[in-house]
């Protein structure tokens, strides 16, 4: 009978630090929505250091020949990036054809991160905003894979995870920044949540499918034992 057991202490420590680092950006955006700190300040003092920590762990894992951890992080980049593309395709359709979204969230993130909300977006703010958006997609994918692993035959767990992320997004203070209310009830009470859920499901299906079909052994918090 198989059971789950903790990975070795070194891997657990590195993965835990990387999970915390991957969590910083979405938490910072949510915190900025409360008005306690600006997203620009949080970006400089928390997001940039967190990204550097995450990639430093990847470099260390490669240097120390920790192949399973390297595979985990590279798979997160590949699957998370592809999943975010899928998400944006769905979101763009909802925005362009069904008026389901008030605007571009990555562009909003960009002007807030670069502290030029009153000036408006430009190429730099758009690059920063989209970069942070893709980083969030990679980070959430990394968190999922670190917790669940590839879960052979259970790629649909990624869909459940994506629905949970989408729900959390729609009940978070970020809705105040967008001016749409919880679940978008003040803007498009049906089209908004449907678009958000479909976009997140597209992300979950994509990263779940890619991870499921990867032949690489990846590290995670737990390993299967006998």
Burial of 97 (0-12, 13-18, 19+ CB in 10 A): exposed
CB 165 within 8 A of CB 196: no
Q: What is the dihedral of CA 182, 161, 77, 92, to 10 degrees?
A: -40
Q: For 147-192, what is each residue's pLDDT tens digit?
A: 998 877 677 899 999 999 999 999 999 999 999 999 999 999 999 9
Question: Is 224 a member of any domain?
Answer: no
Question: Is 102 a member of any domain?
Answer: yes
Place of tokens 């034992």: 225
Q: What is the pTM of this model?
A: 0.93
Please check the confidence at residue 2 and state whether its pLDDT lies above 70.
no
Place of tokens 């998400």: 87
**Contacting residues for 166 by C-beta, under 8 A, at least 6 apart:** 196, 197, 199, 200, 201
Q: Beta partners for 223?
A: 5
Structural domain that includes position 83: 3-217
Question: Is 223 a member of any domain?
Answer: no
Question: Is 28 a member of any domain?
Answer: yes
Question: Is 86 a member of any domain?
Answer: yes
Q: How many CA atoms lie within 13 A of 185 on its CB side?
A: 4
User: How many domains does the chain contain in total?
Assistant: 1
Question: Is 226 a member of any domain?
Answer: no
Q: How many CA atoms lie within 13 A of 96 on its CB side?
A: 6
Give the confidence band of 222 by pLDDT, cuts at 50, 70, 90. confident
């Amino acid at each position: 009978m198989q059971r789950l057991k903790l990975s070795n202490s070194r891997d657990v420590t590195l993965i835990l630090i990387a999970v915390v680092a991957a969590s910083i950006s979405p938490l910072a955006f949510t915190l900025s929505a409360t008005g306690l700190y600006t997203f620009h300040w949080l970006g400089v003092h928390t997001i940039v250091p967190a990204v550097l920590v995450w990639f430093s762990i990847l470099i260390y894992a490669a240097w120390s020949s920790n192949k399973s951890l390297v595979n985990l992080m590279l798979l997160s980049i590949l699957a998370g990036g592809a999943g975010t593309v899928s998400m944006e395709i769905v979101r763009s359709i909802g925005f362009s054809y069904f008026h389901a979204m008030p605007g571009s969230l990555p562009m909003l993130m960009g002007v807030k991160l670069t502290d030029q909300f009153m000036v408006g977006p430009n190429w730099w703010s758009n690059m920063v905003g989209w970069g942070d958006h893709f980083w969030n997609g990679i980070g959430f994918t990394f968190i999922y894979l670190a917790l669940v692993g590839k879960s052979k035959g259970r790629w649909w767990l990624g869909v459940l995870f994506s629905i949970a992320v989408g729900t959390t997004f729609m009940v978070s203070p970020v809705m105040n920044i967008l001016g749409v209310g919880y679940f978008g009830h003040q803007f498009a009470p049906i089209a908004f949540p449907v678009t958000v859920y479909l976009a997140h499901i597209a992300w979950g299906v994509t990263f779940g499918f890619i991870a499921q079909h990867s032949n690489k052994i990846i590290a995670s918090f737990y390993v299967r034992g006998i």
